Amino acid sequence: MRTYFNNFRTRRWARRAVIVSATLALTLVFAAAAFALTAGNVDGVWGNPTPSNTTEFRWCYGPDNVSGPAGDPTNCSTSNAGIQNGSPGSSTLADENQFRYGTPTLGSGSQYRSGYGFNGNNNVGPITANQPFFLGRFTHYNKPIQANNVLTGIGLAVTLTDLKCDDNSTPTEGSTQTFNYTFTHDETDNNASPCPYGDSTGYGCDDKVTVSQQADTTFTCPEGERTVQILGFYTNANCHLSYSGPTSASFITGERQDNPACLWARISDPSEPLAVSLASFGAQWSGDQVAVTWDTVSEIDNLGFKLYRSQTADALGELVTAEMIPSQSPGGTQGFSYSFTDSNVTPGSTYWYTLADVDVWGVETAHGPVSAAPQTPTAVTLASLAADTTPASPVLPALLALTLALAALGAGLVWRSRTQAR
């Protein structure tokens, strides 16, 4: 009789363990399903150049080629920004919107002027909250020009159509929403010495383009307020097809060439900051090694860091950290100091380092690059920063806690069943 009851209890606790395991699996499935937004077409329209009297400025559009630069503009207007979307002309929501400026020094016509292009993703589809999705392709047409009034910045109004919330409902503000971003342009003197961002093509100093990452627009869903955050530029081959490396808010572009990069973004709570705020990031020679240091202000949702090294400013280069450098404050709102000594270098050479922070969703965000020259080290310092006290998104920690709790309960039930069966 005792053996019977022991076997009965064993089977009963085993069934409970199975139920717990099934509950855990369903919990994770439903948690994943809860983050399914959708969007249709992405279109970006350029506007509000700075200064407003940029030399020889004109609005344009070019062919639809999401896999690469559109190249020469199809049509341009010196006064009508609406030409980007078909007024007048044959432009559509599925082409590359451009602007061009400057007096060409090689050739004539708008195709020889500098400018930007943006071709949005024509079919976004399902979007997982906080996960990267391809927003569109950006191109800097970096041409040799003369300009009395040099471009320093311009806005991009990005419109997403057919937006749906997690539960497939339409956002309160409607299914079409526009998000505004600012691009800052550093047009360098081609004959500067030294070139601040290097000379990757041999035709003059590289330029630098920087994009703002936080939009000024939000939309409301049953699960809360949402916005589209730009993660940055991503320049790997076929970058529109997959995301597998760090993005950067800045893009170094070579002279006399088309410089394409993919813009990746994520839909998230607008109070959800990007993973890391840096106070400083620098590199300098120390003997026959390079000492790389950085300080953080906050590390919201941060897991750790990767460090890349290159011998040119416009390339990410090779990964020099064999393992990810773990965060000293994962998910925290306080900062820490970090250092890395790179010994696999050749004395007398100049190296460029890019730091990538890795958040809890696996998204890498690049910072830099900064250079280490034999006698002229450079560093980037961000002043007057304060830690963001906004709490990290509770979703992921809650899921992890639930998973661990259920797993522990299942293990306890199995242990108890074995103990009572003895």
pLDDT tens by residue, 34-89: 456 899 999 999 999 999 999 999 999 998 887 889 999 999 999 999 899 866 55
97-124 b/e (C-beta count within 10 Å ≥ 16 → b): bbbbbbebeeeeebbbbbbbbbbbbeeb
The three-class DSSP label of residue 246 is coil
CA 149 – CA 51 distance, rounded (Å): 7
Q: Which of 247, 268, 289 is the last residue of a domain?
A: 268
CA 412 – CA 416 distance, rounded (Å): 6
Task: Tell me: do 221 and 306 sit in the same domain.
Answer: no
pLDDT by residue (tens digit) across 208-254? 998 887 777 889 999 888 889 888 898 887 889 888 767 888 899 99
pLDDT by residue (tens digit) across 275-323? 577 778 889 998 899 999 998 877 877 889 999 999 888 778 899 998 8
Task: Tell me: do 88 and 229 sit in the same domain.
Answer: yes
Q: Which of 243, 268, 293 is the last residue of a domain?
A: 268
Task: With residue 141 as reference, give the H or E element that holds it.
Answer: strand 133-142
CA 354 – CA 9 distance, rounded (Å): 59
Task: Tell me: do 374 and 324 sit in the same domain.
Answer: yes
Q: Which of 241, 268, 295 is the last residue of a domain?
A: 268
Task: Tell me: do 252 and 325 sit in the same domain.
Answer: no
CA 220 – CA 171 distance, rounded (Å): 5
Task: Tell me: do 230 and 110 sit in the same domain.
Answer: yes
Task: Tell me: do 244 and 289 sit in the same domain.
Answer: no
Task: Tell me: do 256 and 281 sit in the same domain.
Answer: no
Q: How many C-beta atoms lie closer than 10 Å to residue 341's C-beta? A: 11
User: Whole-number mean pLDDT of the chain?
Assistant: 79
CA 159 – CA 406 distance, rounded (Å): 42
CA 69 – CA 98 distance, rounded (Å): 11
Task: Tell me: do 57 and 144 sit in the same domain.
Answer: yes
Amino acid letter at 178?
T
Task: Tell me: do 7 and 103 sit in the same domain.
Answer: no
Task: Tell me: do 127 and 219 sit in the same domain.
Answer: yes
Residue 376's CATH number? 2.60.40.10
Peptide bond into 330 cis (omega under 30): no
Task: Tell me: do 379 and 410 sit in the same domain.
Answer: no
pTM of the model: 0.66
Residue whose tokens read 């993005």: 247
Task: Tell me: do 163 and 66 sit in the same domain.
Answer: yes
Q: Per mean pLDDT, which range of 140-144, 274-278, 321-325 is the poorest? A: 274-278
Tokens describing residue 68: 């690469």
Number of residues in the chain = 422
Q: Which string of DSSP letters, residue by residue, matches 47-62? A: EEEESTT-TT-EEEEE
Contacts of 95 (CB under 8 A, 6+ apart): 61, 62, 63, 64, 70, 74, 119
Number of domains present in the structure of the chain: 3
Domain hosting 412: range is 2-31+396-421
